[in-house]
Structure 1
Amino acid sequence: MLNRLRSGAGRVVGPVARALLARGVSPDAVTIAGTVGVVVAALWLLPTGRLLAGTLVIALFALTDMIDGVMARTSGRTSPWGAFLDSTLDRFGDAAIFTGLLLHLVAVDERPTAGFALACLVLGSIVPYARARAEGLGMRADVGIAERADRLALVLAATFAVGVGAPVVVLTVVLALLAVASAVTVVQRMAVVRRQALAGVPPVPPAAPGAPDAGAGA
């Protein structure tokens, strides 16, 4: 869903990307700075109950996920290292968001909702691992009912809503749905890989430098 908006968003962040490049800022530096911003906001603001501020800060730093890509393509610096760095640091950001929510929910004694946050945290690490492991074996596992961008958009929207006064049940429902969607995605990927393995699918050639990050939609 959100990936279809990337081309339009690219036109918006394009001037920012070009300005940063003109000042000698590298795409990798933007990737790292964005991740640090997300992690700090998620583990500092969310656990202390500042859900509105945390959501806004996280969303602002999450824009760097688009800016660094535009910078890399504009400057011709796309590379396997850049794709690896971006995908790896994405996992830190995702884990920090759900950990921050988990700590907050435990602190306010919302145990069932905290359980769903924990499920999202655990399954959120298994979903991209399943894809990466399949690709490491020369197979494909780019299937699933919810992409990473969609999952993050939904959890941030629900957190924002609770931050402005909506009942916590909104977050409970969203986290429960995300946990189910993640579990289904893991099963889908396992089934796809099993079919390929049984059929003796030939190895998939490695992605060429500059190809889209394999983990972006994990």
Structure 2
Amino acid sequence: MLNIFARASVSRVLDPLGRALVRAGLTPNAMTVVGTTGAIVCALVFFPTGMLLAGTFTVWGFAMLDLLDGAMARARGYGTPFGAALDATCDRLVDGALFGAIAWWCFVVASDLRAAAAALVCLVLGQVISYIKARAEASGLKADGGIVERAERLIIALVGTGLEGFGVPYAVEGSLWLLAVLSAITLAQRMFAVAASAREEHA
């Protein structure tokens, strides 16, 4: 949903930086790999050891690099099919590392089984939501939109870990259950979108 409302504003901010990075000789694919590697390492190092604030801010920082690869592709004037596939793959890896690390924190550090269950639900639903779109597009159908896409998943999860890191009790559990509910709604929205697209295809 943020992709629809914030895309123009974000592009105005990031496009000059994307052009500068391209002039410096960097490529969008390199930026994707750097951001992915950093986010995965920080998630797996900080969250399982209970360093919620460090994990929140470092993962968020590296995740922001994911926005720069698009700005750099626009600066070059083109993207590539490999770049799109790499970006989608790296997104799934970061999501898996983040929610897996949060689940580990819930199980081992906080001993909160309800929050751990919510983290695992969010992990599965996030992967399925992304898969629905990829599979639909491979079949020539549309499955865009939904109340919670990847940006919202990251924001809700990291707001929860950040607040918990600042001492707000149950912030992780509350954010994860909220995200689980919204993700289930999004999954249903995308399936309805696929069904509508299929009907249009055969009309």
Encode CA deviations 1:126-168: one digit per residue, 9 max, x unaligned. 001111111111111113221211121111111111111111x
In 2, the alpha carbon distance for the partners of 1:2 and 1:136 equals 24
Letter paired with 2:49: T
Encode CA deviations 1:29-83: one digit per residue, 9 max, x unaligned. 0011000011001111111111101111011111111111111111123122222
Contact 2:15 2:74 in 1 (8 A): no
**1:39 corresponding residue in structure 2:** 40
Higher RCO by CA contacts (8 Å cutoff, separation 6 or greater):
1
**1:201 corresponding residue in structure 2:** 201
TM-score, with structure 2 as normaliser = 0.91
Name the structure with the higher helix share. 2
Q: Given the alignment of the two structures, is residue 75 of structure 1 paired with residue 54 of structure 2, yes or no?
A: no
Q: Given the alignment of the two structures, is residue 135 of structure 1 paired with residue 154 of structure 2, yes or no?
A: no
| Shift, 1:10, TM fit | 3.0
Encode CA deviations 1:105-142: one digit per residue, 9 max, x unaligned. 10121110010001001111100111111111111111
In 1, the alpha carbon distance for the partners of 2:200 and 2:70 equals 35
**1:51 corresponding residue in structure 2:** 52
| Shift, 1:187, TM fit | 2.1
Bigger mean CA offset, 6-15 vs 92-101: 6-15
| Shift, 1:94, TM fit | 1.0
State the superposition RMSD in angstroms. Answer: 1.8
| Count of matched residue positions in the alignment of Structure 1 and Structure 2 | 201
TM-score, with structure 1 as normaliser = 0.85
DSSP-derived class of the 2:155 partner: helix
Q: What 5-or-longer segments of structure 1 have no aligned partner?
A: 203-218
| Matched ranges for 1:92-111 at <5 A | 92-107=93-108, 108-111=110-113
**1:5 corresponding residue in structure 2:** 6
Bigger mean CA offset, 187-196 vs 96-105: 187-196
Alignment identity in percent? Answer: 44
DSSP-derived class of the 2:134 partner: helix
